[in-house]
Amino acid sequence: MDPRLHAVCELFMPSVREEGGRHEYDGRLYDLSPDGVRASLAALGGPAYDDPGTEAHVASFEALARAWFGDLEVHRWNPDLHLRNLNLVHYEREYAPAAERAAHRLEHLRRWPDAVEMALASLDRVAAPMAQALVSSARGLHAQVEAVGADEDTARRAHDAADRITAHLERAAVEGDPDPALGGDNLARLMTASEDLTFDLGAMAEVVERERDRLDEILREACARVDPTAPVREVVRGLLADRPRTDAEILHNASSVTEELVRFTAERELVPFLDGEMEFGLDHEAQGLFFANMRFSAPEEPDSPSTYHVTPPDWGWPRADVDQWLETFSPTLIGSMSAHEAAPGHFAHARALRRTEGLAQRVLMSYTFAEGWAHYAEELCWEEGFSEDDPRYAIGMAIWALVRVTRLASAIGLHSGTMSVEESTARFVDDAHFPAPAARQEANRGLFDPMYARFTWGKLVIRDAREQARRAWGSDFSLLRFHAAMFDLGSPPVGLVARRFGDEVGPGRPGPG
């Protein structure tokens, strides 16, 4: 790794380690103290790369680092960054021998007191709603300590560290600024810097309205196939009531529809690669945060099984909360979720990343592209006729897409100060048909993950690029060719996708085989 790339990776260490597979970072922290961040920013830059694609890719991440850590000082107000610095879950994936992973996990745990010192030195601007959204995650750190099986002294010090950051967030939840808004201009600057493409708040607000209307029409038409006389909300509530009742049923719903999606993706030749092993598991650590995630075999590590994790409820929650959480794993919603996480979504993208040329392109991932692709994949399956005899897939696809559009609206509203958490929650209930606990979770996520607007933005950039390529390639266009050409870029800032399939694409330009 050359010095310029190394300097960028130091500022995105968890992602480079866990999604990129650079395990020289195992057992290490990245320095999120005020002095450490200043030093890391000063180290950015260096001679230009000969390859224009690599230069554009690395420069985009340098711009993101300067905006994220320099201009906006995210390490001072976002505890999620520090909590991820403590995370040990990634050592569970079988990318290396168990003894090696256990040793690195123990070394990482031993560094927890240092990580918390950095966090306490930096986190002086935590807004009360932000702390309230993340304090449960801090309390959950104790379960990670117990899972390690460390010696008594290491475990005691780690528990003390977890208690200290939890106490800090508990105080901030009471005493912090009640206004969590990043500021509309800051949100636009952050999104623009990260993707090398202008993010205009006014234009995005118009996108929200158009996309919501388009998806509402898809939802209405699909619900009419179930019951042409019933209101949409009544049809949706009836379908979501068909929910699993046990952990085993949740896993069954996820695995059975994923097997169908893998077959469909292969038969329709939607992606260039669909090899590798996929397993299924439960992610109890994500209760209250995420419904599902794909922990894939990363491009810079030996091939190993990828795991599609679904998050069951805490069965000790009130019964109504448990039932509403379980609706997410109903046959109506699990199909689109699985297209997103597995095929042709994250799993298929990860298989292509292992073949991507260029180290920077393999280890520096734009989440706007990665999440935009997986969201695009949900609707792609509907367009290509997946489960066309059963309207539940179309209904679930439209609901999840409405959730993502509402995320875009909420990110803009929460951080421009025009929407409260309560108003955001109501929009997820009203526009996306989400039950109240899940809607509240989505609204809270917008506080510490303002870039969750990227799902819809990334999807729309990809759809626009597809139409550019379709016009440019004419009769030579195919979905496989287009998707392979995008994957050749790795997981690029979406501005690079827009340019690749805009001015740079011509009728005679060769595509992948």
pLDDT at 173: 96
Cα–Cα dist 76/86, whole Å:
16
Q: How large a percentage of the chain has pLDDT more than 90?
A: 80
Whether the per-residue pLDDT at 507 is higher than 50: the answer is no
Q: What is the DSSP string of 182-236?
A: --HHHHHHHHHHHHTS---HHHHHHHHHHHHHHHHHHHHHHHHHH-TTS-HHHHH
Which token pair is 156? 């005691």
Query: What's the whole-model pTM score?
Result: 0.91
Return the domain boundaries, the chain: 3-47+73-181, 197-456
pLDDT at 27: 96
Which of the four pLDDT bands, split at 50, 70 and 90, describes residue 506? very low
Cα–Cα dist 453/475, whole Å:
34
Q: How large a percentage of the chain has pLDDT more than 70?
A: 97
Task: Give every CB contact of residue 200 below 8 A, 6+ residues apart in sequence.
Answer: 188
Place of tokens 């875009």: 408
Which token pair is 183? 């500021």
Chain length of the chain: 513
Which of the four pLDDT bands, split at 50, 70 and 90, describes residue 283? confident
Whether the per-residue pLDDT at 287 is higher than 50: the answer is yes
- List the one residue out of 182, 79, 175 whose CA is nearest residue 135: 79
- Angle, nearest 10°, between helix axes 98-110 and 152-175? 50
pLDDT at 451: 84
Whether the per-residue pLDDT at 288 is higher than 70: the answer is no
Q: What angle do CA 312, 18, 109 make, to 5 degrees?
A: 80
Any idea which of 4-18, 439-453, 469-483 has the lowest mean pLDDT? 439-453
Q: What is the DSSP string of 341-398?
A: HTTTTHHHHHHHHTT-SSHHHHH---HHHHHHHHHHHHHHHHHTTTTTT-THHHHHHH
Which of the four pLDDT bands, split at 50, 70 and 90, describes residue 504? very low
- Check if the beta carbon of residue 156 is closer than 8 Å to that of residue 112: no
pLDDT at 510: 30
